[in-house]
Amino acid sequence: MLPLKTEIRGPAGRFDEADGDDIIDEVLTYFRANVLFRNFLIMGAADRTLIYLTLHAVQCLVKLEKIDDKPTALRELRALSKDKPFTIPGEPGFPLNGVFPAAANKSEGDLFKAYMKQAREELCVRLLDRVFAEGEVKSKWWQSFSKRKFMGKELNDAPTR
């Protein structure tokens, strides 16, 4: 579990600002290059987190296609990130079951879900700051990546139970 620069409550540890960029900064900084990859060499757990969050960033950009103002976008993306159920490794429908090991037990699965919920919500806040960096007008540059499929995959929300 990587630490995050965030005020959002969750299981992630606090990231020291003096240490540079956290995983979310890395996702946003290298998004343009990474989203073009069909394959991604995984060197460790941080790469798995980077892959998952890059897929979530694409999912957010797709959602933003129909939204033109920042307050509505923030409300919709927060709902997408924390309120909608999503699958975790080992569950049917999780698009990265070949990349992530399945949770060993329920508490490990719950910890993964809580961490990713916190990271997804923080990613949305920072992504919106970049998409709406010009004020109230969306960046066409960022929006152009909503048509891309990173590694040929996409995150799907879990079916409601």
pLDDT digits (tens, 9 = 90+) for 36-49: 777 777 888 888 88
Q: What angle do CA 34, 57, 5 make, to 5 degrees?
A: 95
127: closest CA among 82, 60, 65?
A: 60
Q: How far is CA 161 from CA 85, 86, 157, 158, in A?
A: 9, 11, 12, 9
Assess whether pLDDT exceeds 50 at residue 86: yes
All domains of the chain in start order, with CATH: 21-37+44-152 (1.10.1760.10)
Position 156 confidence tier, pLDDT thresholds 50, 70, 90: low
pLDDT of 4-52, one tens digit each? 888 888 888 787 776 778 888 898 998 888 887 777 778 888 888 888 8
pLDDT at 151: 60
Position 96 confidence tier, pLDDT thresholds 50, 70, 90: confident
Stronger pLDDT, 130 or 18, i.e. the higher one: 130
pLDDT at 158: 45
Stronger pLDDT, 156 or 122, i.e. the higher one: 122
